Structure 1
Amino acid sequence: MRDPQSVPAPEPLLGATEIRRLAEELGVRPTKTLGQNFVIDGNTIRRIVAAANIDPAETVLEVGPGLGSLTLGLLDAAARVVAVEIDPVLAAKLPETVAAFRPAKAGNLDVVLSDAMRVTELPGVPTALVANLPYNVAVPVVLHLLEYFPSLRHGLVMVQDEVADRMVAGPGSKTYGVPSVKGAWYAQMRKAGVIGMNVFWPAPKISSGLVGFTRRVPPATQASRAEVFAVIDAAFAQRRKTLRAALAGWAGGAAEAERCLREAGVDPAARGEVLDIAAFARIAEAKVPQIV
């Protein structure tokens, strides 16, 4: 039996005391505008990193590192971390925090001062996305990053719990909608757990959900991603209407919408909430002019 004393203690992570000290030092007060809720519990960080299933050789993309709670845990697990931070004060402090808490890993961090919704180039080739995302932009950020960085093979994001449920929902579910379908274009999404409110500062009013994803090949179609997404947007803009009615504006008339639906093998009287991503791709393709 292994001697418990021979098992190395885990590297220290930022707790409530360190987080508040750093925030006070920087004059930072978490804002709702940027959706800042800092994780103050080391065990939660370890749980997130473990659930992300990071290979030691990987480069991890982190969005919104804040004061560095999750960043330290990711540096312990990955070869490199690329952190995208929109706040210049936090971005400037992060390398100093890493140098203080993980001096041997300080060279393994790249900090990019940018809005994650605008970034299109990154240092290195990140293969995993792991992030505590602001609730108000979580879905657009994930979709943007999956579009612009095809090297991202898998990931784990923490979002508002009800947003997590929408991201992983399947056809026929009450929570199935635009985030569910567009996310399915890029990846297989799954619920990986729920995080309570008391591990954050400030504590949010609702729990957070962990969403894991594994990239997959989009449905085979002659339609572009933008054309497929246009069908999805139209179908869910009026989700109580039949697809024949909801897609009339998109198709240029109800009759043309019905033609596209029947060609795609979809009942015109159905609603968007029952279709999977492959069906939306077929509908979009039915409108694409065929090249003979």
Structure 2
Amino acid sequence: MEFAKKKFGQNFITDKNLINRIIDILDQEEDHLIIEIGPGRGALTKELINRFSKVIAIEIDPDMESILKSEIKSEKFELIIEDCLEVNFKKLIEDNKFKKVSLISNTPYYITSEIIFRTLNVSKFLDKAIFMVQKEVAQRICAKANENNYNNLSVAAQLYSDIKYEFTVNKNMFKPIPKVDSAIISLTFNEVNLKKVNDDAKFVAFVRKLFNNKRKTILNNLSNITNNKEEALNVLDKICLNQNLRPENIDIDKFIEMYNEVY
């Protein structure tokens, strides 16, 4: 029996009901490419293969290669042993001609934000993404304006998708048992908000800068971007936004209006 490795943030799912509950969130169209990040010992992978046309699993730990290849004998399965942050997802999707493509990840806690931002960057090639993350991180990603933990990642996720907090996963459902509970969130991608900005990467960077000093007012934060307090004040007046609000009080619609006034 291989032991989970702390350096890779490995915690394996063992409960069959939980596995099915996670996979049920996906659109159940058989002609469907599933990209799985962090398959571990393949518990989720095996069920994905039962349901869908192709599963590409990306695993950072070379020691898992022999386990996965010995336990999964299917032409529908492809294994890539590589750091998911180094994988060219766009090329991977383009090389596999599927009408529907989804991503699923039992996300290592230490690189959660990086994986989510990388997924958002290729969202136009994806239909849906499911992430298992720490409960606190899930609440942050799903937060709306004026809620606890609302931040630039919350806004970025809303730019690309409809986000849903699906359910909480008790820490005792993993081996080894992590210190905190996890949660499943889903992102269903669409271009509703994307069409409102001229450059999505520039918008995300803009929002990130506004959240750099969360305790400062939006006027102060915007002034740092425009390098001109008067100009920042004019922008806020034009979009009818109170200059004393803080970034966590502002919804995505107002961030989009503000961005479009500045750029």
1:194-237 alpha-carbon deviations (Å, 9 max, x no partner): 11111211101111101012111134335411221122112211
Match of 2:173 in 1: 199
Q: Is the 8 A contact 1:54 1:128 kept in 2?
A: no
Q: TM-score, normalised by structure 1?
A: 0.81
Alignment of 1:210-289 (within 5 A): 210-217=184-191, 218-288=193-263
Q: Percent identity?
A: 27
- Is 2:151 the partner of 1:189? no
Say how many residue pairs are matched: 256
- Is 2:84 the partner of 1:116? yes
Larger radius of gyration: 1
CA distance in 2, matches of 1:175, 1:59: 33
CA distance in 2, matches of 1:222, 1:146: 15
Aligned partner (choices 166, 170, 184) of residue 140 of structure 2: 166
CA distance in 2, matches of 1:155, 1:261: 35
- Is 2:119 the partner of 1:145? yes
Q: Secondary structure of 1:158's partner?
A: strand
Q: Secondary structure of 2:125's partner?
A: coil
Query: Alignment RMSD, CA only?
Result: 1.8
Shift of 1:272: 1.2
Aligned partner (choices 145, 156, 162) of residue 130 of structure 2: 156
Alignment of 1:50-129 (within 5 A): 50-99=24-73, 106-120=74-88, 121-122=91-92, 123-124=95-96, 125=98, 127-129=101-103
Gaps of 5+ in 2: none
Shift of 1:92: 4.7
Q: Secondary structure of 2:36's partner?
A: strand
Q: Is the 8 A contact 2:123 2:189 kept in 1?
A: no
Q: 1:247 to 1:91 in 2, by over 3 A?
A: farther
Moved runs in structure 1, 4+ residues, more than 4 A?
none
CA distance in 2, matches of 1:182, 1:225: 9
Q: 1:110 corresponds to which letter in structure 2?
A: E
Q: Is the 8 A contact 1:49 1:77 kept in 2?
A: no
Gaps of 5+ in 1: 1-20, 24-28, 100-105
Match of 1:132 in 2: 106
